[in-house]
Amino acid sequence: MPFPLILLAPPVVTIGVAVAKLLYDENEKNKKRNASKNSGKKKPAQQKTVAILGPRGSGKSSLVQLLVNGRVPDVVRPTNFLETEHSTTRLGKHEVALTIHDVSGDPSSRKQWKSAAKAANLVVFAISAEAVLTDDGYETARSAANFYGGLDFKRRTVLVVSHADMAEPQTSETYEHLLNHVRVKTLFKLVGAKDLVAANLLKHADQSRAIITIRTALK
């Protein structure tokens, strides 16, 4: 007597559907887990480049230390050639990786000024208060400003009047006088600056004011 024919297809189909559903559910769980992990990861830092330019003795190396370390050391080594520093800072909610080019203020380095400025998102152009208070200092600063302002491209520029401690007495009124001095206004126009700050870079309050001005211009 022949055995009855037993059809196995429906159970196989049922098992196949069940396995597919399990695989789908597991895949969805993995997606959610990965999304949760990725949401906790830090976003990559924005990349910004700053060029510090200006004649010799204008406080450029001090400004670099201020941007890199948040303070100016007691002894600052002057720059004799193009140097590059790196730092990470926060601008509002964003983390920013800074590349800072510090270029010698010697007139022989003007070609490096151009290449550093061209690669920069922001140029910090420093002049000493001596440029306001003495004729020789002004002529040196004006020559440097003429060169930078005459470049065939423009960058957002902050003009920093450093060594404001040369002006006596050291009061907010004295700083305002520096910023409103006709020579500073002339240099401001020559470099095409949009932001201006006076600072004694050895004074903590002035350091904070200078760095806030620069960070604001970077946004």
Does residue 169 have a cis bond before it (omega within 30 degrees)? Answer: yes
Dist CA 76 CA 59 (whole Å): 9
pTM over the 0.85 mark: no
Dist CA 188 CA 83 (whole Å): 25
Dist CA 191 CA 150 (whole Å): 8
CA atoms within 13 A on the CB side of 37: 6
pLDDT 10s per residue in the chain (219 long)? 555 554 445 554 555 555 555 555 666 666 666 655 555 556 667 888 999 999 998 888 888 888 888 777 666 666 666 678 877 777 667 788 888 888 899 999 999 999 999 999 999 999 998 888 889 999 999 999 999 999 999 999 999 998 877 666 666 667 888 889 999 999 999 999 999 998 888 788 788 888 889 888 988
Dist CA 21 CA 141 (whole Å): 75
